[in-house]
Structure formats: structure tokens, C-alpha cells
Amino acid sequence: MAFGKYAVDYEQRVNYDRLRKERVQRAKKQMEEDGLGAILTFDHANIRYLTSYYVTTPMRLSEMQCAFITRNGEPYLFGGGTPSETERRMPWMEGRVKPPFPPAKLMAEDSKHLTIGMVVRTISKLMKEYGVEKEPLGIDGTTLQMLYGEAFTKKRINAVHGKPTMDRARMIKTQDEIQLMRITCANTEKAFAAIVDAIKPGVRECDLVGIGIKALYEEGDDHTEDLVCCSGYNTNPYGWSFTDKPIRPGDLIYIDVDGACYMGYMSCVYRTFCCGKATKEQKDLYEECRKMLYDGISAVKSGATNHDVSANWPDSPEYWGYSDWSEVQPYAVGHGLGLTLHDPPVISPVYNQGGWEPVELKEGMVIALETYAGHKGGKDGVRLEEDVLVTKSGCEILSRWPIEELMECWIPYK
């Protein structure tokens, strides 16, 4: 990361005005390519992508807030608490912040409900104003997609699935998005540093999660997911939660600083530590996991595919001691990162064998790759993950917490 994260007058850092404009441009270009006249999205990440409005966590599931954009217009925001105050704080949205709709998700049982009708009338009117009422409307991010589809059809508007269009628009990151991804990965390093300092016998998995989240908010994160923290016997087989289990001497501890969100952009970085001196078997297991991870990373470059990456990973669940992929599907995976924790493309050995079409990796994608090593019936498991930026000739690893060898914490003896 070349510069600091906060706005200053003596360096050009993240250019938020350019960020907003380029995101809208990409969305409109993708709408043109996909033949959509407009998109209505209730998805919090896509609302932020189009308007920069932050939907708070309690409001996300209610679907009271949404954004609308036509291929030839600028985005509208329906929501924002007090619309006039939101416009004052977000002047780039002047004249296009409207009151939120009533929570149709909580009220509507069919497409005839008044709240559905209010949305349909408002959006239909805007589509007509922009001359796209005869073009498809993409609907995204709502559990009521079927009801909205029925209601718009009655208005002679062709409602289609809008998520793929927004996914494609967001897959290639702009220069400012890439800088924000570097910053969010850097924030994970403070969380890991605080966690490493705290690892000692008696501290609980949930304590380490709280310590990590506190460090992230100190670095300016606007949201975090629960960190994964598994220790000792909880590391094998693989799981992705945390408990009140205390750490004991000799325990391996794997931690995922996942969903650490800076200006909307999320990290997903696993590291594994040892409480005290590690055994040779634990170090060997760690190297097995690390090699698997970097074998996958070696295939990442523009023009390669998700299948090329996962071809470097075990091609059978029997590698981990199981006969069914459903038992071990998360053990070697990759996924896009950005305004959500799991974006396209998806990378997995399962897809190589299941008939899924390959997805080409392109310069500007940010991808998380994660692997697991653990012998069935054993005590220990290791999980590691890196966040990488796809470049023309390969990739840039954005996550920098040391990974070359198993880090031993709490060493009271030599």
C-alpha cells in the first residue's frame, strides 16, 4: 500500500468521486451489454455500489431500502432515514433520494398487496420517464422476486433476474476499489497482531474473536462479520465458527478475519497459529496446507480459468479421508471478493468434475483462495488463505501476514 488510508491534502489517495462515477459507469455498461433497461436492487452491496449509501446491518433483511437505475440515467436511492438529510450528506445524489418503501417483505403475501403496488407504480413511472419501459427490468436482492415479477408483468414490464448483471459489473475492480482492497487487507494485520499477542492458555476462542473485531473497528472498519476461530480438537474436522473453548498448550488455532469491511470492501484471510511450541507433525501439516494453497495461487493470472486454479488441488475427497465431496467441499476453494464476502468467480475441484463451464480470470479481479489440511480422525487441522489481485502476468498477494511457517505464540520457555 503506497499511501495512508485517510483523506489528506498532500497526496492523491483513494479518489471517492472517481470511485462513485466509475462504479455507476460500469453498471450502466453491463446493463447495455446484457440488454437491460433498468435495475431495481434491494441488495445492500449493490445499493452501495450504485449510490455509496451504507445500509446498516439491521436494515438489510427488511428490504425497506433499495436503489434503481436505468441504463441511460443516474441512480435513485429509496431510503436513507430522512431523505433530505441523506441528500445533504451525499450531494452527488441530489434530487434522487426518495423515502423508503413500506417493508413489503414483512407485509406482502401476494403480488396484489398495496406495498408491492407502490413499488411497481413508482418504478414503472421512472422507467417511462427515461424511455425504457419496453425494455427488461432486472430485479435483484429480494426474497419477493416472484411477487414483483408478477406485479410488473401486469404492468407489461418484463421483469428478469438482475443479480448476474450486477455481479459482472462488480467483478473487475477499478483502481480505487483495488486500493480499498489493499487497505482492508492491511487492516486484518492489526487484528492478527492483537490476536497473536493474546494467545495463551486459558484465553477462549470467543475472546480472540472479540479482540480481533475491536482491532478492526479501531482501524476504521464500518462492518465486520464474526471471525472464525477454531482451536485444538475443534480444528479437525474443519469447521467455521467459534465457541467458548479455552486455548490449551499445544493447541493449533486457525482464525479467519472474514468480512472485515472498510468502505464496504471485505477481506477474507485465514492464518493458523500454535499455542506454544509446535510438534514436527503440526509443522508438517502446516506445510502441506501452505503448499496446497500456493500451488493454486501459481495458476492465477489473466486468461487462466477457475478450473486451471483448482486443477492444482486434490481431485478426490479421499485426500482428506472421505468418499463424498459433500463432506469436504469447503476444504479447497476460492471466491471473488469485493463489496460482499463471496462474489463470483467460484473456484473448487468439484466444479472441474461436475460439468460447470470454466470462468475466465481477468485483470482486476480480487479472489480469496483457501485450503485445509487435516487427517481424518486426527486432532489437528490447518487452514490458510490469501487474498490475491489478478494481474496480466500473474497475481499480487494483498494479504501480508506472515505465512511461510507455523507461527508459535506464547513461548515462556526456550
- Same domain? For 257 and 385 the reply is yes
pLDDT tops 80 at residue 178? yes
Average pLDDT, the chain: 94
- Same domain? For 86 and 40 the reply is yes
**What pLDDT, on the 0 to 100 scale, is given for residue 114?**
85
pLDDT tops 60 at residue 2? no
* Segment 389-407 mean pLDDT: 96
Report yes or no on 2 lying in a domain. Answer: no
Report yes or no on 251 lying in a domain. Answer: yes
Of the candidates 122, 144, 113, 110, the one whose C-alpha atom is nearest the C-alpha of residue 38 is 122
Report yes or no on 367 lying in a domain. Answer: yes
**What pLDDT, on the 0 to 100 scale, is given for residue 413?**
65
Report yes or no on 155 lying in a domain. Answer: yes
- Same domain? For 203 and 305 the reply is yes
- Same domain? For 161 and 23 the reply is yes
Would you give the end-to-end CA distance of the chain in angstroms? Answer: 36
Cis status of the peptide bond prior to 317, with omega within 30 of 0: no
Report yes or no on 7 lying in a domain. Answer: no
pLDDT tops 90 at residue 4? no
Q: What are phi and psi of 336, to 5 degrees?
A: -65, 155
- Same domain? For 284 and 389 the reply is yes
Q: Is residue 378 within 8 Å of residue 185, measured between CB atoms?
A: no
- Same domain? For 271 and 388 the reply is yes
* Segment 51-72 mean pLDDT: 92
CATH number at residue 393: 3.90.230.10
User: pLDDT per residue over 267-295, tens digit each?
Assistant: 999 999 999 999 999 999 999 999 999 99
pLDDT tops 60 at residue 1? no
- Same domain? For 180 and 121 the reply is no
Measured in whole angstroms, the distance separating CA 385 from the mean position of its chain's CA atoms is 14
CATH number at residue 120: 3.40.350.10
At how many degrees (to 10) do helices 145-154 and 114-129 cross?
Answer: 60
* Segment 106-121 mean pLDDT: 85
Query: Which of the listed residues 123, 149, 169 is the one where a domain comes to its end?
Result: 169
| 37 Cβ neighbours under 8 A, 6+ residues apart | 31, 70, 71, 127, 130, 132, 133, 134, 135, 136, 137
Q: Is residue 163 within 8 Å of residue 63, measured between CB atoms?
A: no
Q: Is residue 62 within 8 Å of residue 47, measured between CB atoms?
A: no
Report yes or no on 316 lying in a domain. Answer: yes
User: pLDDT per residue over 9-30, tens digit each?
Assistant: 888 899 999 999 999 999 999 9
- Same domain? For 65 and 84 the reply is yes
User: pLDDT per residue over 309-359, tens digit each?
Assistant: 999 999 999 999 999 999 999 999 999 999 999 999 999 998 877 778 999
Report yes or no on 68 lying in a domain. Answer: yes
Task: Give the pLDDT band of residue 412 (cuts 50, 70, 90).
Answer: confident
User: pLDDT per residue over 224-263, tens digit each?
Assistant: 988 999 999 999 999 999 999 999 999 999 999 998 999 9
Number of structural domains the chain divides into: 2
List the domain range (segments joined by +) for residue 181. Answer: 172-409
* Segment 33-37 mean pLDDT: 98
DSSP run (H or E) holding 358:
none
Task: Give the pLDDT band of residue 414 (cuts 50, 70, 90).
Answer: low
Report yes or no on 4 lying in a domain. Answer: no
Distance of alpha carbon 171 from alpha carbon 166, whole angstroms: 9
* Segment 103-121 mean pLDDT: 84
- Same domain? For 112 and 133 the reply is yes
- Same domain? For 132 and 190 the reply is no
Strand, coil or helix: 182: helix
- Same domain? For 161 and 59 the reply is yes
Neighbours of 312 (CB within 10 A): 19
Q: Which of the residue ranges 220-224, 317-321, 368-372 would you say has the lowest mean pLDDT?
A: 220-224
All three cell numbers of 178: 483495488
- Same domain? For 144 and 224 the reply is no
**What pLDDT, on the 0 to 100 scale, is given for residue 129?**
97
